[in-house]
């Protein structure tokens, strides 16, 4: 029994240390993981640690709001700053999951892109979902979503993000709807039917992905010939020497934002981090690491021309691109995601 | 055994059977071995043929804050939840074996129920109840959740051991002046210890391999090894996964050996020889 | 151990000694209490940490608090309303007051989200209305609300409020079996584009059945050989079963990804053998899920089968053969029936485990391989619709418990052998 007692004692000691360690003055910053997180670590976390204002504990999720809701409702908030997509930000703000931001602690609103400024969040970067393909495996380059749907001309599997958001828009564009009209059409019952019908056509060839790191791997391994991707992930794969290309036509861009969950005990530190990460020079470093566009107007100005050409915000990339309609997804998100899920499982 | 006078049909059957069983056992065993060499791959891809021998992936997981944290978390959560399950489960098993009361079968069924109820349901249920109490995203919540999942294994194994236990030994101890507590520690415990330990091993394995409940209850700060593997397999499948897998395989082999040794010892003590 | 005290008591006591029977009964009772207290901590623990959560999950499937708790006055004003024409001013006034009070709080979001499930678009109706409140002093609520959004001048949103206003609802449970209640209050089948759960339940059963069948077919010969070889060899074979059994499920899933991927070993082997020119898709479809699930669950079949077969005396078979019965027939007529308890125990165990599986389909399957558990997780994490998650859990739990009852009724005792080895 002697052995057991000392064992128990040491286990308790280790546990106490670990629990105490996680309760120290670090702030937990949750992002979407993968290459995006790596870039954030270089551009935001490490410099923030160095600035002596606090230490960042990085974490990752896939955008599910359930955990945040649970934490806020239990008044036991352990995430201090969270990267959130636009519809979730609006919904979370209405539901009281996020702090209403005090912009005097961050910077004047006029310094940022109008799309990046909202009640509960401040834009981190502009990202885009576009078509990517493996140039080593495809002889001719696809140029549109219609090509993406054309399994005769481009035989093979396609990757799409498992979810209604953007997938329905892509389907409509493939069906000949002009980008400017996509949300008008999707706003009608007939439009939704049309999108699902178009998806039916491609269903046997679709390989669904959930995490942003998957499509570059699927493309590189040849499991799919083309895929919808977060544009930044492709740049990361290109750096590793893979011949992946992005088609900007028909891409959908949106802003990811920092939000502070309501009731975090480290609100002041969280504000400090958000302010720090919203500085143009830090955003510029971020854009250099992964081609997502800065939201700070000055961050855009000072950017290297070579990097700027790869950003979703570059004029030539915006041609034929579509801005995500946050309002639409706030309103219809739950319904369409549920229907999409039922459709996909069938 | 094949008899020398077996008919040709019997011979064919004999070898076909052995061949089939061999294939099934290879099916069970080979996939696990396939992972091990890949963990020493110098390439970044989790596929054969391998680039060359390298321990870089072990170095990577050893240096990665995320994997370190995951290992530490597993080493906190699993032993503590096992300990809790062992203490509570052993006491209850003794109680269950020594008494009879109306509703005992039902109570036993309830105590065993965490083994039967699908883990997803357990995960969602605990999540919904734990969340308002602030037990999600906490070590406490995760430890008690894992403990409750491990309890049935302790209860069943200890009960089985106790059923073969001669309680006259406790009476003898009492008649010699031992009080119940010291009789328990001096007589009962040493004899049923193998049962407790193997129950504990099952509970440990359950916790150490648990993903689903952890997915619901843990924040990134409490992510355990399997939780991290789940994320890794889903997001970024690299030989680092194979390295972690190899470590886990070594660990499960150790657990298996321990259990086998316990079983042998148990048989020896009771004089059972097969 | 309790025998010592009565003698001591007997010396001191001046009262007449209680009868032996009584003393024995008392001692028995004390013993019972002592051992009862040993069970108590675990019983409480399981009750608090497991039974209570499951019970409250089940109640979540019928709970409907959003509108009921947050718009009580509106509901009261609607109580006498027949639902045919636009409700009276009192209802408008109550709604305006309650929406204003709830503005900017989680309560209003809950109401909006709940009503949006009745009809898409009501979320923005509620949010928009709340934003434009409060009403000017003395302004009639009815015309003001209709001016904010003309939908308030129709009966539908009011019907939706009334419909969703009861404290409990069968909405989620019905939805979990692809049914819903229409405006008239009749139970109708859900529209085909939403009806999926009956299919998913059938799929869950079907996939479990296939996996169980495969496990039986593969597990039987293995267990048979192990049980009939000399102990030493049998134990060696056992290691091949036990090591995978003890290896983390995630390790095994990772292994199957290595083997089954397009450039994986199996496809390389098939191509090298010339059986196929291009890689066969084995991952993210049924094949991959079946293979991995059989791999994970096979030990759960082999172990109970083995323990049953080990107990079957070879004498009967020998007797049958010596009496002139051909070996195969005697195997089928004499040996096989004796293994049925093992087949039943292992089969039901595998089946039950299969029904609740989440990890393997999630990591190795596509959307068409997802079983009920996936949808439970989806509603919990993705859309935060706990009512739906709870209702689907209730369906899965009911199916599991029915099977478990069959299991423990007919095959109870052999169940213990499963993990105890």
Does B22 map to a domain?
A: no
Domains plus CATH for chain C?
A: 4-56 (no CATH), 67-164 (no CATH), 197-420 (1.10.3720.10)
Q: Which two tokens stand for residue B176?
A: 């010699």
Q: Is the pLDDT of residue B13 over 90?
A: no
Listing DSSP states for C270-311 in one string gives HHHTTS-SSPPP-SSSHHHHHHHHHHHHHHHHHHHHHHHHHT
Does B56 map to a domain?
A: no
Listing DSSP states for B130-165 in one string gives HHHHT-TTSHHHHHHHHHHHHHHHHHHHHHHHHHTS
Chains in contact with A, where contact means 3 or more Cβ–Cβ distances below 8 Å, are B, C
What is the rounded distance in angstroms from the CA atom of residue C67 to the CA atom of residue C310?
A: 61
Does B234 map to a domain?
A: yes
Residues A227 and A331 in one domain: yes
User: ipTM score of the complex?
Assistant: 0.89
**Residue A291: per-residue pLDDT:** 92
Residue to mutate among B73, B131, B143, with most A CBs inside 10 A, is: B131
**Residue C407: per-residue pLDDT:** 75
Query: Which class for B65: exposed (0-12), middle (13-18), buried (19 or more C-beta within 10 A)?
Result: exposed
Q: Is B73 on the interface with A (CB under 8 A)?
A: yes
Alpha-carbon gap: B12 to the closest alpha carbon of chain C (Å): 13
Closest in B10, B32, B48 to C327, CB measured: B10
A15 vs B contacts (CB less than 8 Å): 76, 80, 139
Q: Is C392 on the interface with B (CB under 8 A)?
A: no
Alpha-carbon gap: A206 to the closest alpha carbon of chain C (Å): 10
Chains in contact with C, where contact means 3 or more Cβ–Cβ distances below 8 Å, are A, B
Cβ of C14: how many Cβ atoms within 10 Å? Answer: 4
Phi, psi torsion values for B184, nearest 5 degrees: -65, -50
Q: Do A11 and B83 count as a contact with CB atoms less than 8 A apart? A: yes
Give, in order, the Cα–Cα distances in Å from C328 to each of B19, C31, C221: 18, 55, 14
Domain span including residue A269:
2-124+255-315
**Residue A199: per-residue pLDDT:** 96
- Identify the three-state secondary structure at position A243: coil
Chain A to chain B, count of Cβ pairs less than 8 Å apart?
72
Q: Do A73 and B131 count as a contact with CB atoms less than 8 A apart? A: yes
Q: Is C117 on the interface with A (CB under 8 A)?
A: yes
Strands A158-161 vs A206-209: parallel, antiparallel or unpaired: parallel
Place of tokens 């992946």: A244
Residues A134 and A176 in one domain: yes
**Residue C420: per-residue pLDDT:** 37
Q: Is A23 on the interface with B (CB under 8 A)?
A: no
**Residue B1: per-residue pLDDT:** 57
Q: Which two tokens stand for residue C106?
A: 């989680």
Q: Which residues of C65-104 are buried (b: 16+ CB within 10 A; e: fewer)?
A: ebbbebbeebbebbeebeeeeebeebbbbbbbbbbeebee
What is the rounded distance in angstroms from the CA atom of residue B165 to the CA atom of residue B154?
A: 16
Closest in C106, C117, C382 to A95, CB measured: C106
What percent of chain A has pLDDT above 90? 58
Q: Is the pLDDT of residue A5 over 60?
A: no
Q: Which helix (H) or strand (E) holds C108?
A: helix C106-118
Residues A151 and A193 in one domain: yes
Q: Do C373 and B248 count as a contact with CB atoms less than 8 A apart? A: no
Residues A131 and A115 in one domain: no
* B84-98 residue pLDDT tens: 999 999 999 989 988
Residues A15 and A86 in one domain: yes
Per-residue pLDDT band for C256 (boundaries 50, 70, 90) equals very high
Residues A143 and A245 in one domain: yes
Residue to mutate among B45, B60, B142, B219, with most A CBs inside 10 A, is: B219
* C268-294 residue pLDDT tens: 899 999 888 888 888 888 999 999 999
Give, in order, the Cα–Cα distances in Å from C57 to each of A120, A329, B122, C47: 32, 29, 9, 14
Which of these ranges, A265-274, B143-152, C325-334, C394-403, has the smallest mean pLDDT? Answer: C325-334
Structural domain tally of chain A? 2
* Cα Rg of chain C, angstroms: 32
Does B59 map to a domain?
A: no
Q: Is the pLDDT of residue C8 over 90?
A: no
CATH of the domain at A19: 3.40.190.10
Structural domain tally of chain B? 1
Average pLDDT over residues C126-150: 85
Residue C287, CB-side half-sphere exposure with 13 Å CA sphere: 9
Q: Which two tokens stand for residue A339?
A: 């229907």
Instruction: Provide CB contacts within 8 A for A298, sequence distance 6+.
Output: A111, A280
* A208-236 residue pLDDT tens: 998 888 898 888 878 889 999 999 988 88
Phi, psi torsion values for A323, nearest 5 degrees: -85, 135
**Residue C388: per-residue pLDDT:** 94
Of B211, B229, B249, B233, the C-alpha closest to B61 is: B229
**Residue C4: per-residue pLDDT:** 44
Residue A128 bridge partners (DSSP): A253
What percent of chain C has pLDDT above 70? 93
Residues A13 and A143 in one domain: no
* A157-212 residue pLDDT tens: 999 999 999 999 999 999 999 999 999 999 999 999 999 999 999 999 999 998 88
* A78-132 residue pLDDT tens: 899 999 999 999 989 988 899 999 999 999 999 999 999 999 999 999 999 999 9
* B182-233 residue pLDDT tens: 888 888 888 888 888 888 988 999 999 999 999 999 888 889 999 999 988 8
Place of tokens 């090298």: C272
What is the rounded distance in angstroms from the CA atom of residue C38 to the CA atom of residue C342?
A: 33
More confident residue, B250 or C11: B250
Q: Is the pLDDT of residue C421 over 80?
A: no
Residues A116 and A264 in one domain: yes
Domain span including residue B130:
69-270
Query: Which class for B179: exposed (0-12), middle (13-18), buried (19 or more C-beta within 10 A)?
Result: exposed
Q: Closest residue of A to B132, CA-based?
A: A74
Q: Do B31 and C408 count as a contact with CB atoms less than 8 A apart? A: no
Residue C379, CB-side half-sphere exposure with 13 Å CA sphere: 28
Average pLDDT over residues C35-61: 94
Cβ of C265: how many Cβ atoms within 10 Å? Answer: 17
Q: Is A342 on the interface with B (CB under 8 A)?
A: no
**Residue C414: per-residue pLDDT:** 44
CATH of the domain at B108: 1.10.3720.10
Please state, rounded to an integer, the average pLDDT across all residues of chain A: 88
Q: What is the 8-class DSSP label of residue A55?
A: E
Of A39, A85, A94, the C-alpha closest to A61 is: A85
Q: What is the 8-class DSSP label of residue B220?
A: G
pTM of structure: 0.87
Q: Closest residue of B to C216, CA-based?
A: B24
Q: Is the pLDDT of residue C396 over 70?
A: yes
Residue A106, CB-side half-sphere exposure with 13 Å CA sphere: 29
Q: Is the pLDDT of residue C160 over 50?
A: yes
């Amino acid at each position: 029994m002697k052995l057991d007692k000392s064992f128990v004692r040491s286990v308790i000691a280790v546990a106490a240390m670990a629990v105490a360690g996680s309760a120290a003055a670090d702030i937990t910053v949750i992002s979407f993981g993968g290459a995006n997180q790596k870039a954030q670590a270089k551009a935001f976390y490490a410099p923030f640690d160095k600035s002596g204002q606090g230490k960042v504990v990085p974490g990752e999720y896939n955008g599910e709001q359930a955990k945040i809701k649970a934490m806020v409702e239990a008044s036991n908030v352990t995430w201090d700053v969270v990267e959130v997509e636009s519809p979730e930000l609006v919904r979370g703000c209405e539901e009281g999951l996020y702090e209403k931001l005090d912009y005097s602690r961050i910077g004047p609103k006029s310094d940022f892109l109008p799309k990046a400024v909202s009640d509960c969040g401040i834009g981190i970067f502009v990202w885009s979902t576009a078509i990517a393909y493996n140039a080593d495996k495809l002889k001719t380059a696809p140029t549109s979503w219609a090509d993406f749907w054309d399994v005769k001309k481009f035989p093979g599997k396609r990757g799409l993000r498992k979810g209604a958001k953007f997938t329905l828009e892509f389907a409509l564009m493939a069906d000949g709807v002009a980008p400017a009209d996509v949300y008008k059409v999707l706003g009608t019952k007939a439009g939704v039917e049309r999108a699902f019908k178009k998806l039916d056509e491609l269903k046997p060839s679709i390989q669904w992905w959930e995490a942003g790191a998957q499509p570059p791997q699927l493309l590189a391994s040849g499991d799919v010939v083309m895929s919808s991707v977060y544009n930044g992930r492709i740049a990361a794969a290109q750096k590793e020497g893979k011949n992946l290309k992005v088609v900007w036509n028909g891409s959908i861009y949106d802003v990811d934002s920092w939000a502070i969950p309501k009731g975090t005990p480290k609100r002041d530190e969280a504000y400090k981090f958000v302010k720090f990460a919203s500085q143009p020079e830090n955003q510029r470093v971020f854009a250099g690491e992964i081609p997502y566009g800065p939201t700070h107007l000055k961050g855009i100005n000072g950017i290297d021309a070579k990097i700027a050409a790869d950003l979703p915000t570059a004029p030539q990339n915006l041609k034929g691109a579509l801005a995500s309609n946050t309002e639409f997804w706030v309103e219809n998100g739950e319904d369409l995601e549920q229907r999409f899920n039922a459709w996909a499982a069938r | 055994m094949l008899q020398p006078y077996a008919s040709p049909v019997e011979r064919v059957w004999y070898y076909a059977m052995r061949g089939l069983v061999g294939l099934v056992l290879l099916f069970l065993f080979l996939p696990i071995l396939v992972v091990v060499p890949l963990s020493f791959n110098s390439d970044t891809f989790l596929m054969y043929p391998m680039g060359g021998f390298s321990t870089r992936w072990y170095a990577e997981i050893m240096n990665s804050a995320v994997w370190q944290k995951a290992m530490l978390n597993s080493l906190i959560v699993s032993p503590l939840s096992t300990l809790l399950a062992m203490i509570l489960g052993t006491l209850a098993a003794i109680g269950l074996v020594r008494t009879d009361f109306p509703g005992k079968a039902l109570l036993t069924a309830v105590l065993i129920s965490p083994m039967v109820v699908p883990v997803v349901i357990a995960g969602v249920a605990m999540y919904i109840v734990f969340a308002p109490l602030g037990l999600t995203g906490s070590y406490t919540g995760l430890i008690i959740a894992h403990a409750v999942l491990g309890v049935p294994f302790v209860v069943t194994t200890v009960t089985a051991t106790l059923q073969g236990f001669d309680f006259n030994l406790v009476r003898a101890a009492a008649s010699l002046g031992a009080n119940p507590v010291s009789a328990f520690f001096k007589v009962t415990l040493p004899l049923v210890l193998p049962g407790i330990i193997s129950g504990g091993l099952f509970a440990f394995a359950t916790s150490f391999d648990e993903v689903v409940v952890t997915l619901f209850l843990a924040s990134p700060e409490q992510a355990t090894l399997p939780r991290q593997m789940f994320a890794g397999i889903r997001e970024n499948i690299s030989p680092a996964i194979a390295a972690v897998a190899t470590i886990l395989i070594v660990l499960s082999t150790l657990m298996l050996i321990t259990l086998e040794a316990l079983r042998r010892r148990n048989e020896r003590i009771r004089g059972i020889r097969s | 151990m309790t025998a010592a005290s009565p003698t001591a008591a007997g010396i001191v006591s001046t009262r007449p000694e209680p009868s032996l029977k009584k003393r024995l009964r008392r001692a028995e009772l004390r013993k019972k209490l002592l051992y009862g207290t040993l069970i108590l901590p675990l019983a409480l623990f399981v009750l608090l940490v497991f039974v209570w959560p499951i019970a409250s999950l089940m109640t979540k499937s019928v709970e409907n608090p959003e509108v009921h708790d947050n718009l009580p006055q509106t509901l009261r004003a609607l109580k006498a309303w027949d639902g045919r024409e636009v409700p009276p001013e009192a209802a408008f006034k109550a709604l305006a007051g309650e929406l204003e009070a709830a503005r900017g709080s989680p309560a209003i979001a809950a109401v909006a989200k709940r009503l949006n499930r009745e009809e898409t678009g009501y979320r923005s109706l509620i949010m928009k209305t709340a934003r434009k409140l409060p009403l000017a002093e003395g302004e009639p609520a009815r015309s003001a609300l209709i001016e904010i959004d003309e939908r308030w001048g129709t009966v539908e949103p009011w019907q939706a409020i009334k419909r969703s206003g009861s404290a409990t609802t069968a909405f989620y449970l019905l939805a979990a079996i692809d049914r819903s209640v229409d405006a008239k209050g009749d139970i109708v089948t859900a529209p085909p584009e939403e009806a999926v759960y009956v299919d998913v339940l059938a799929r869950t059963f079907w996939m479990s059945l296939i996996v169980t069948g495969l496990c039986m077919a593969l597990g039987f010969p293995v267990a048979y050989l192990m049980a009939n070889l000399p102990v030493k060899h049998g134990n060696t074979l056992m290691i091949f079963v036990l090591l995978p059994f003890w290896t983390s499920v995630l390790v095994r899933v990772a292994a199957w990804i290595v083997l089954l991927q397009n450039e994986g070993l199996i496809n390389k082997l098939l191509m090298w053998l010339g059986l196929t020119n291009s890689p066969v898709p084995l991952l993210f479809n049924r094949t991959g899920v079946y293979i991995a699930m059989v791999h994970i669950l096979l030990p759960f079949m082999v172990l109970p089968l083995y323990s049953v077969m080990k107990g079957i005396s070879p004498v009967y078979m020998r007797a049958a053969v010596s009496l002139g019965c051909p070996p195969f027939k005697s195997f089928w007529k004499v040996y096989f029936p004796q293994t049925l308890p093992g087949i039943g125990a292992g089969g039901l165990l595998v089946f039950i485990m299969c029904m609740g599986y989440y990890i393997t389909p999630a990591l190795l399957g596509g959307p068409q391989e997802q079983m009920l558990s996936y949808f439970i997780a989806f509603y919990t994490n993705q859309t935060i619709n706990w009512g739906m998650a709870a209702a689907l859990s209730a369906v899965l739990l009911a199916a599991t418990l029915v099977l478990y009852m069959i299991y423990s009724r007919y095959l109870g005792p052999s169940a213990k052998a499963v993990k105890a080895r």
